[in-house]
Amino acid sequence: MEFKFNFFQELDSTNIYAKNMAKNGACEGLCIIADSQTNGYGRMGRNFHSPESTGLYMSLVLRPKIKPQDALLITTAAAVAVSNAIDKISGKASFIKWVNDIFIDGKKVCGILCESAIDIQSGLLDYCILGIGINLTDPKNGFPEDIKDIAGSVFGNECTNNAKEELISLILSNFDSCYRDLTSKNFYPSYKQKCFIIGKKVAIIKNGIPEEHTVCDVNNDFKLITKNQNGDICTLDSGEVSLKWNI
Ligand code: BTN
Protein backbone atom coordinates (compact mmCIF):
# COMPACT_ATOMS: atom_id res chain seq x y z
CA MET A 1 0.00 0.00 0.00
CA GLU A 2 1.24 3.49 -0.72
CA PHE A 3 0.84 5.82 2.26
CA LYS A 4 0.05 9.51 2.02
CA PHE A 5 0.19 11.59 5.20
CA ASN A 6 -1.85 14.58 6.37
CA PHE A 7 -0.68 16.06 9.69
CA PHE A 8 -2.76 18.40 11.88
CA GLN A 9 -2.09 20.31 15.08
CA GLU A 10 -5.63 19.63 16.30
CA LEU A 11 -8.72 17.87 14.97
CA ASP A 12 -12.04 16.93 16.52
CA SER A 13 -11.27 13.31 15.63
CA THR A 14 -8.92 11.83 13.04
CA ASN A 15 -11.56 9.13 12.42
CA ILE A 16 -14.23 11.74 11.60
CA TYR A 17 -11.83 13.57 9.30
CA ALA A 18 -10.71 10.38 7.54
CA LYS A 19 -14.35 9.24 7.18
CA ASN A 20 -15.25 12.49 5.42
CA MET A 21 -12.24 12.12 3.15
CA ALA A 22 -13.24 8.53 2.32
CA LYS A 23 -16.84 9.60 1.57
CA ASN A 24 -15.35 12.13 -0.86
CA GLY A 25 -13.31 9.46 -2.65
CA ALA A 26 -9.95 9.45 -0.79
CA CYS A 27 -7.71 6.57 -1.80
CA GLU A 28 -6.58 3.70 0.35
CA GLY A 29 -3.42 4.59 2.25
CA LEU A 30 -4.38 8.12 3.28
CA CYS A 31 -3.16 8.52 6.86
CA ILE A 32 -4.51 11.33 9.04
CA ILE A 33 -2.44 12.19 12.11
CA ALA A 34 -3.23 14.83 14.74
CA ASP A 35 -1.21 16.11 17.68
CA SER A 36 -4.42 16.39 19.73
CA GLN A 37 -8.13 15.65 19.37
CA THR A 38 -11.02 17.56 20.92
CA ASN A 39 -13.52 14.75 20.35
CA GLY A 40 -11.50 11.54 20.09
CA TYR A 41 -13.74 8.54 20.63
CA GLY A 42 -13.54 4.78 21.00
CA ARG A 43 -15.76 1.74 20.93
CA MET A 44 -19.27 2.06 22.38
CA GLY A 45 -19.08 5.84 21.84
CA ARG A 46 -16.62 6.24 24.73
CA ASN A 47 -14.42 9.32 24.88
CA PHE A 48 -10.73 8.76 24.02
CA HIS A 49 -8.61 11.21 26.00
CA SER A 50 -6.34 12.86 23.40
CA PRO A 51 -4.25 15.66 24.93
CA GLU A 52 -1.61 17.49 22.87
CA SER A 53 1.90 16.16 22.32
CA THR A 54 1.65 13.08 24.53
CA GLY A 55 -0.16 10.69 22.20
CA LEU A 56 -0.30 9.32 18.69
CA TYR A 57 -3.75 9.72 17.15
CA MET A 58 -4.01 8.41 13.63
CA SER A 59 -6.58 7.08 11.17
CA LEU A 60 -5.90 5.17 8.00
CA VAL A 61 -8.30 5.02 5.04
CA LEU A 62 -8.66 1.46 3.72
CA ARG A 63 -10.70 0.06 0.84
CA PRO A 64 -10.58 -3.69 1.44
CA LYS A 65 -12.59 -5.93 -0.87
CA ILE A 66 -13.95 -8.01 1.97
CA LYS A 67 -17.34 -8.96 3.40
CA PRO A 68 -18.59 -6.88 6.35
CA GLN A 69 -18.32 -9.94 8.63
CA ASP A 70 -14.56 -10.05 7.90
CA ALA A 71 -14.03 -6.46 9.10
CA LEU A 72 -12.90 -7.80 12.47
CA LEU A 73 -9.75 -9.06 10.71
CA ILE A 74 -8.68 -5.45 10.20
CA THR A 75 -8.84 -4.58 13.90
CA THR A 76 -7.19 -7.79 15.02
CA ALA A 77 -4.41 -7.46 12.40
CA ALA A 78 -3.92 -3.87 13.58
CA ALA A 79 -3.69 -5.02 17.20
CA VAL A 80 -0.83 -7.39 16.29
CA ALA A 81 0.85 -4.73 14.12
CA VAL A 82 0.69 -2.09 16.87
CA SER A 83 1.70 -4.42 19.69
CA ASN A 84 4.75 -5.73 17.79
CA ALA A 85 5.77 -2.18 16.83
CA ILE A 86 5.46 -0.96 20.44
CA ASP A 87 7.60 -3.88 21.67
CA LYS A 88 10.32 -3.20 19.13
CA ILE A 89 10.54 0.57 19.65
CA SER A 90 10.03 0.71 23.42
CA GLY A 91 11.81 -2.51 24.42
CA LYS A 92 8.77 -3.31 26.61
CA ALA A 93 6.37 -6.24 26.34
CA SER A 94 2.85 -5.29 25.32
CA PHE A 95 -0.17 -7.56 25.28
CA ILE A 96 -3.57 -7.63 23.61
CA LYS A 97 -6.76 -7.53 25.60
CA TRP A 98 -9.43 -9.14 23.44
CA VAL A 99 -10.50 -7.78 21.26
CA ASN A 100 -8.30 -4.84 20.41
CA ASP A 101 -6.83 -2.94 23.33
CA ILE A 102 -3.10 -2.96 23.97
CA PHE A 103 -1.80 -3.18 27.53
CA ILE A 104 1.61 -2.77 29.17
CA ASP A 105 2.06 -3.77 32.83
CA GLY A 106 -1.70 -4.12 33.31
CA LYS A 107 -2.50 -0.63 31.95
CA LYS A 108 -4.22 0.26 28.67
CA VAL A 109 -1.81 2.17 26.43
CA CYS A 110 -3.65 1.92 23.12
CA GLY A 111 -7.16 1.58 21.72
CA ILE A 112 -8.14 0.69 18.17
CA LEU A 113 -11.40 1.59 16.49
CA CYS A 114 -12.39 0.44 13.04
CA GLU A 115 -15.41 2.04 11.36
CA SER A 116 -16.68 0.73 8.03
CA ALA A 117 -19.25 1.53 5.38
CA ILE A 118 -20.78 -1.04 3.03
CA ASP A 119 -21.15 -0.68 -0.71
CA ILE A 120 -24.82 -1.56 -1.26
CA GLN A 121 -24.29 -2.89 -4.79
CA SER A 122 -21.49 -5.36 -4.10
CA GLY A 123 -22.35 -6.05 -0.46
CA LEU A 124 -18.62 -5.67 0.26
CA LEU A 125 -16.98 -2.92 2.29
CA ASP A 126 -16.77 0.43 0.57
CA TYR A 127 -14.24 1.87 3.00
CA CYS A 128 -12.92 1.21 6.41
CA ILE A 129 -11.30 3.74 8.75
CA LEU A 130 -8.70 2.22 11.02
CA GLY A 131 -8.25 4.52 14.02
CA ILE A 132 -5.35 4.00 16.40
CA GLY A 133 -4.83 5.97 19.61
CA ILE A 134 -1.65 5.42 21.63
CA ASN A 135 -0.69 7.09 24.90
CA LEU A 136 3.01 7.69 24.24
CA THR A 137 3.81 9.47 27.49
CA ASP A 138 1.78 10.31 30.58
CA PRO A 139 -0.30 13.48 30.00
CA LYS A 140 1.25 16.61 31.58
CA ASN A 141 -1.66 16.90 34.04
CA GLY A 142 -1.99 13.15 34.54
CA PHE A 143 -4.81 10.97 33.23
CA PRO A 144 -8.37 12.11 34.05
CA GLU A 145 -9.91 10.75 37.24
CA ASP A 146 -12.21 8.22 35.52
CA ILE A 147 -9.37 6.43 33.68
CA LYS A 148 -6.37 7.06 35.94
CA ASP A 149 -6.42 3.52 37.36
CA ILE A 150 -6.60 1.76 34.01
CA ALA A 151 -4.68 4.02 31.60
CA GLY A 152 -0.93 3.97 31.10
CA SER A 153 1.58 5.10 28.51
CA VAL A 154 4.18 3.36 26.39
CA PHE A 155 7.20 5.48 27.32
CA GLY A 156 6.26 7.01 30.70
CA ASN A 157 7.94 10.43 30.98
CA GLU A 158 9.62 11.05 27.68
CA CYS A 159 9.29 10.10 24.03
CA THR A 160 11.53 11.56 21.33
CA ASN A 161 10.15 12.70 17.98
CA ASN A 162 12.30 10.03 16.46
CA ALA A 163 10.61 7.27 18.49
CA LYS A 164 7.18 8.60 17.47
CA GLU A 165 8.13 8.61 13.79
CA GLU A 166 9.65 5.14 13.99
CA LEU A 167 6.52 3.86 15.69
CA ILE A 168 4.25 5.28 12.98
CA SER A 169 6.38 3.78 10.25
CA LEU A 170 6.67 0.35 11.88
CA ILE A 171 2.96 0.16 12.71
CA LEU A 172 2.11 0.90 9.09
CA SER A 173 4.60 -1.55 7.60
CA ASN A 174 3.60 -4.32 10.06
CA PHE A 175 -0.06 -3.70 9.28
CA ASP A 176 0.57 -3.62 5.55
CA SER A 177 2.13 -7.08 5.58
CA CYS A 178 -0.92 -8.58 7.40
CA TYR A 179 -3.35 -6.62 5.22
CA ARG A 180 -1.93 -7.93 1.93
CA ASP A 181 -3.25 -11.38 2.75
CA LEU A 182 -5.84 -10.52 5.38
CA THR A 183 -8.24 -13.43 4.95
CA SER A 184 -5.43 -16.00 5.35
CA LYS A 185 -5.35 -14.83 9.01
CA ASN A 186 -1.63 -15.60 9.17
CA PHE A 187 -1.33 -13.14 12.06
CA TYR A 188 -3.66 -15.29 14.22
CA PRO A 189 -0.86 -17.22 16.04
CA SER A 190 0.79 -13.90 17.04
CA TYR A 191 -2.59 -12.54 18.15
CA LYS A 192 -3.24 -15.56 20.35
CA GLN A 193 0.27 -15.51 21.78
CA LYS A 194 -0.18 -11.87 22.81
CA CYS A 195 -3.63 -12.38 24.32
CA PHE A 196 -3.01 -12.13 28.04
CA ILE A 197 -6.49 -13.01 29.28
CA ILE A 198 -6.36 -16.67 28.25
CA GLY A 199 -6.64 -18.72 31.47
CA LYS A 200 -7.86 -15.70 33.48
CA LYS A 201 -11.15 -15.03 35.23
CA VAL A 202 -13.02 -12.15 33.58
CA ALA A 203 -16.38 -10.42 33.85
CA ILE A 204 -18.38 -10.70 30.64
CA ILE A 205 -20.81 -7.83 30.32
CA LYS A 206 -23.85 -8.47 28.15
CA ASN A 207 -26.76 -6.02 28.20
CA GLY A 208 -25.06 -4.27 31.13
CA ILE A 209 -25.06 -7.39 33.31
CA PRO A 210 -21.65 -8.79 34.41
CA GLU A 211 -21.12 -12.55 34.63
CA GLU A 212 -17.96 -14.32 35.77
CA HIS A 213 -16.29 -16.55 33.17
CA THR A 214 -12.89 -18.21 32.78
CA VAL A 215 -11.26 -17.60 29.39
CA CYS A 216 -10.31 -20.88 27.68
CA ASP A 217 -9.18 -19.69 24.25
CA VAL A 218 -9.52 -17.24 21.38
CA ASN A 219 -10.51 -19.23 18.29
CA ASN A 220 -9.34 -18.41 14.79
CA ASP A 221 -12.50 -16.40 14.13
CA PHE A 222 -11.25 -14.22 17.00
CA LYS A 223 -14.18 -15.28 19.17
CA LEU A 224 -13.63 -15.71 22.87
CA ILE A 225 -14.18 -19.22 24.21
CA THR A 226 -15.07 -19.13 27.89
CA LYS A 227 -16.53 -21.31 30.62
CA ASN A 228 -19.17 -19.83 32.91
CA GLN A 229 -19.68 -20.74 36.57
CA ASN A 230 -22.07 -23.58 35.62
CA GLY A 231 -19.32 -25.10 33.49
CA ASP A 232 -21.06 -24.19 30.21
CA ILE A 233 -18.71 -23.40 27.32
CA CYS A 234 -19.59 -20.10 25.60
CA THR A 235 -18.45 -18.64 22.28
CA LEU A 236 -18.52 -14.87 22.54
CA ASP A 237 -18.55 -12.27 19.83
CA SER A 238 -16.87 -8.91 20.41
CA GLY A 239 -19.91 -7.15 18.97
CA GLU A 240 -22.18 -8.56 21.69
CA VAL A 241 -20.14 -8.44 24.86
CA SER A 242 -17.51 -6.36 26.56
CA LEU A 243 -15.04 -7.63 29.06
CA LYS A 244 -13.54 -6.54 32.34
CA TRP A 245 -10.43 -8.51 33.09
CA ASN A 246 -9.10 -7.38 36.49
CA ILE A 247 -11.89 -8.77 38.65
C1 BTN B 1 -11.09 2.34 22.16
O2 BTN B 1 -10.31 2.42 23.12
O3 BTN B 1 -12.25 1.89 22.28
C4 BTN B 1 -10.62 2.78 20.81
C5 BTN B 1 -9.97 4.12 20.85
C6 BTN B 1 -9.56 4.63 19.47
C7 BTN B 1 -8.98 6.02 19.52
C8 BTN B 1 -8.42 6.47 18.21
S9 BTN B 1 -7.44 7.92 18.37
C10 BTN B 1 -7.39 8.08 16.64
C11 BTN B 1 -8.78 7.76 16.14
N12 BTN B 1 -9.64 8.93 16.23
C13 BTN B 1 -10.65 8.74 17.10
O14 BTN B 1 -11.54 9.58 17.37
N15 BTN B 1 -10.59 7.51 17.62
C16 BTN B 1 -9.43 6.78 17.12
Give 70-128 pLDDT, tens digit per residue. 999 999 999 999 999 999 999 999 999 999 999 999 999 999 999 999 999 999 999 99
Q: How confident is the model at residue 206 (pLDDT cuts 50, 70, 90)?
A: confident
Q: How confident is the model at residue 136 (pLDDT cuts 50, 70, 90)?
A: very high
Residues with CB under 6 A from ligand 1: 13-15, 37, 40-43, 46, 48, 57-59, 101, 111-113, 131-133
CA-14 nearest atom, ligand 1: 12
Q: Please compute the mean of the pLDDT values over residues 9-26 and round it to a whole number.
A: 98
| Mutational test site, ligand 1, from 15, 38, 115, max ligand atoms within 8 Å of CB | 15
The mean pLDDT of 192-206, rounded to a whole number, is 92
Mean pLDDT for all residues in the chain: 95
Confidence of residue 55 (pLDDT cuts 50, 70, 90): very high
* pLDDT given for residue 2 in this prediction: 97
pLDDT-derived band at 12, boundaries 50, 70, 90: very high
Predicted confidence at residue 213, as pLDDT, reads: 94
Q: Which atom of ligand 1 is nearest to the CA of 101?
A: 2
DSSP notation for the chain? ---EEEEEEEES-HHHHHHHHHHTTPPTTEEEEEEEESS-B-GGG-B----TTSEEEEEEEE-----GGGTHHHHHHHHHHHHHHHHHHH-S--EEETTTEEEETTEEEEEEEEEEEE-TTTSSEEEEEEEEEEE-B--TT-S-GGGTTTB--SSBT---HHHHHHHHHHHHHHHHHHHTTGGGTTTHHHHHHHBTTTTSEEEEEETTEEEEEEEEEE-TTSPEEEEETT--EEEE-TTT-EEE---
The residue whose C-alpha atom lies closest to atom 11 belonging to ligand 1 is: 131
Of ligand 1's listed atoms, the one at least distance from the Cα of 43 is 3
- Is the predicted pLDDT of residue 246 greater than 80, yes or no? no
Mean pLDDT to the nearest integer, 174-200? 96
**247 has a pLDDT exceeding 70:** no
Query: Residue whose CA is closest, atom 10 of ligand 1?
Result: 57
